[in-house]
Amino acid sequence: MRLENKVAVVTGAAGGIGRAIIEKLVSEGARVIAVDISEAALQEVIAEHPQVVSPCIADVTNYQQVTAAIEQAVAVFGGFDVMINNAGIGLPKPLLDYEADDFDVVTEINQKGVFHGILAAGRKFRSQARGGAIINTSSVYGATASELTFSYNTSKAAVDMMTKCAALELAPLGVRVCAVAPGRVDTPLLRQYEALGLWDHIRREQMRETFTQPLEIAAVVAFLASDDANCVNGTTVYADDGFSSFKYPLLPSQDS
């Protein structure tokens, strides 16, 4: 098992991708601190993985609470090796309908939450005097303009740049920093588009016209967390089934 004896902290642990990440990490031998703001949702996660997953109710917009989650990893499991900054939200809304708070709430979680995770993890790795890995959840929208997602796109673009800058500064400590950019993943966050009548449209934006499953993203995260990915650093890995490589097809698919 690639992650045996490794201890990870995962934020946004109760969401679709977060839960899948925990499932995959545990299957690879890791022990995990599951961080989320929802106590009830966390209890469901813990029930699925007793003894190898410990819950931590925390708000990633609060640096002290993120630091406490890392300290919990050391206290409960005896170490800290991997930080996965996965917490994020979206707010599908036309730009000119925005209120100031609409931008702020997405930025606080998606951007500042990742910053807090990078900072807290980097400081802990420095004090431990050994390497580690930090993996941030980005998005194809970090490099692609789209309607209804102004604050989300800008926050994910920031995640990509924070990943590069942190990788450079933490490299002397033996720390790798990477990001994963999912495309269209079938999660509760994406299901917001179903109510807007866009579900079939966004499905066709993937090359094979099918949604990626959370466990497929989790598999990429687990690889990046492992020593097998030792040469992968400072980059955003696109796990998007070709979303970012082509324009929405003009012609109908063969099975239409």
Of 185, 46, 168, 58, nearest to 118 (Cα)?
168
| 129 contact partners, CB below 8 Å, separation of at least 6 | none
Which residue numbers are catalytic? 152
Three-state SS across 150-181?
HHHHHHHHHHHHHHHHHHHHHHHHCEEEEEEE
At 165, phi and psi to the nearest 5?
A: -65, -40
Concatenating the DSSP letter of every residue in 63-117 gives: HHHHHHHHHHHHHHHS---EEEE---------GGG--HHHHHHHHIIIIIHHHHH
Q: Can you tell me the distance from the alpha carbon of 178 to that of 163, in angstroms, rounded to the nearest whole number?
A: 6
* Alpha-carbon torsion (17, 22, 24, 30), positive or negative: positive
Q: How far is CA 77 from the centre of its chain?
A: 22
